[in-house]
Amino acid sequence: MSSQEKPASPLVRLFPLLGHKNIPWRREILAGLTTFLTMSYIIAVNPQILGETGMDAGALVTATCLAAAIGCFLMGFIADLPFALASGMGLNAFFAYSVVIKQNIPWEIALTAVFIEGIIFIFLTLFKVREAVVNSIPQNMKLAVTGGIGLFIAMIGFSSSGLIVPNEATMVSMGAFHIPTIITCLGVFLIAVLDKLNIRGSILIGIAMCSIIAWIYALSNPQAAADLGIYLPNGVLKFESISPIAGKIAWEHLLDLETFKTLFIIIVTFLFVDFFDTVGTLVGVSTKAGMLDEQGRVPRVGRALMSDALATTAGAALGVSTVTTFVESSTGVLAGGRTGITAITTGCLFLAAMFFSPIFIAIPACATAPALIYVGYLMLTSVKGIDLFNITEGMPAFITIAAMPLTYSIGDGLTLGVLSYVFINLIYNIFAGKDKREPVSWVMIILAALFVLKFILM
């Protein structure tokens, strides 16, 4: 530091954003708007997915927006980075379908698991464990988890739209082409074409157009539409209270041994998936923005991870699943966003969206299904980086990817993937020569031991 430079004040050290002297406000605000347009589909999709658990849809719209706003504000003020946060896709599906519905666990207990995950992440971030552990997990497994979640999300979209249906003979088969399935197909085609044309907000436009088509059908044939789960909005402006879902952390269940055993594996899975989803997003978006330092590290990554951990804890208290950094933040970064103003702008727009709950509640499943399918495709693109020609790496990755949609459980797919990775590599190392052995980190061995413990106890 030169003799003329003044040391940063305590307030600036706490909130680096305040240290900027010449912020390009127009560019940063437009970048925040761009990010919001590309990720605002979560306002419609999250209440539909979490609503399957019996949670109040109107309250979920408000809580989704509020949790996203808090996450964006934390990222903007504490980390001074242009990354936006909201309830994560895949994590919300795991919450609803794998935990609550499949295991018949009350959503209050699932929220408790998310809350505990957030608390654990806060401590892991404080002691810099989170950054250290990420280097111990094989890159192929990280990519496989992302790809497997993509297939799982896409399967939910295909199913909710009626494009695939249960079949006793073949397990699943193609469904009949009724109005919802036709609308879904149109939405997928529209989003794909818009994205190819580099039109911002392609997912949001796809949801909006499909919703309008569905509502026109409901207007012309209300009874037939109602039978298909399509309804007109009951108004435009309305603020829904979060009281039906907020503050429902079920601490008393932690004292019950059977419930705690179930919670344990749920927490571990939330930790694993959220851990690598957040770190991968931060690294990927920072790389696109040219923001990495000379060592290839994300600037203020500890603060970014802390923002993520605090947002997850706050989101669980408000009543929504894990809040995480969105890869759609890359759109705002490509639009010129470089400071926390971008994230704060996105957060302000989420706050404004809270007052339009009747519209978001009325968005039908056939309108959000294209978004699920398309997000699934985007997540599946991660598999291109997997070394499938190395069987000790490729086989566990394949099992992880295939098991998630086929077991209809992110947790089960992750369990099978970790176990197969550890067992295949350890057994191979017994017979392989010393110079050909594949290193297996203690982190993976501990995870495998925990999953084996799960099978024994449960």
Of the listed ranges 88-92, 225-229, 332-336, the one predicted with least confidence: 332-336
What pLDDT, in 10s, does the model give residues 12-54?
A: 777 777 777 778 888 899 888 878 877 888 998 899 999 999 9
What pLDDT, in 10s, does the model give residues 410-454?
A: 777 878 888 999 999 999 999 888 888 888 888 788 878 878 876
Q: Name the 3-class secondary structure at 238.
A: strand
Residue range 183-209: average pLDDT? 90
DSSP state at residue 75:
I
Res. 371 pLDDT band, cuts 50 70 90:
confident
**Given a cut of 50, is residue 146 above it in pLDDT?**
yes
Share of the chain above pLDDT 70, in %: 89
**Given a cut of 50, is residue 3 above it in pLDDT?**
no
**Given a cut of 70, is residue 164 above it in pLDDT?**
yes
pLDDT of res. 2? 46
> Which of 23-32, 142-151, 279-288, 449-458 has the largest mean confidence?
23-32
pLDDT of res. 1? 45
**Given a cut of 60, is residue 134 above it in pLDDT?**
no
What pLDDT, in 10s, does the model give residues 299-341?
A: 788 888 899 999 999 999 999 999 988 877 876 886 778 889 9
Biggest CA–CA distance in the chain, Å, is 79
Top pLDDT among 269 and 431 is at 431
pLDDT of res. 34? 78
pTM: 0.74
Helix (H) or strand (E) segment spanning residue 167? strand 164-167
- How far apart are the C-alpha atoms of 76 and 23, rounded to whole Å? 13
> Which of 66-80, 192-206, 286-300, 329-343 has the largest mean confidence?
66-80
Top pLDDT among 372 and 158 is at 158
Which distant-in-sequence residues (6+ apart) come within 8 Å of 178 by Cβ?
162, 228
128-137: Cβ within 8 A, 24+ apart: 128/302, 130/275, 130/279, 130/305, 131/279, 131/301, 131/302, 131/305, 133/275, 133/443, 134/275, 134/276, 134/279, 136/441, 136/442, 136/443, 136/444, 137/276, 137/441, 137/443, 137/444
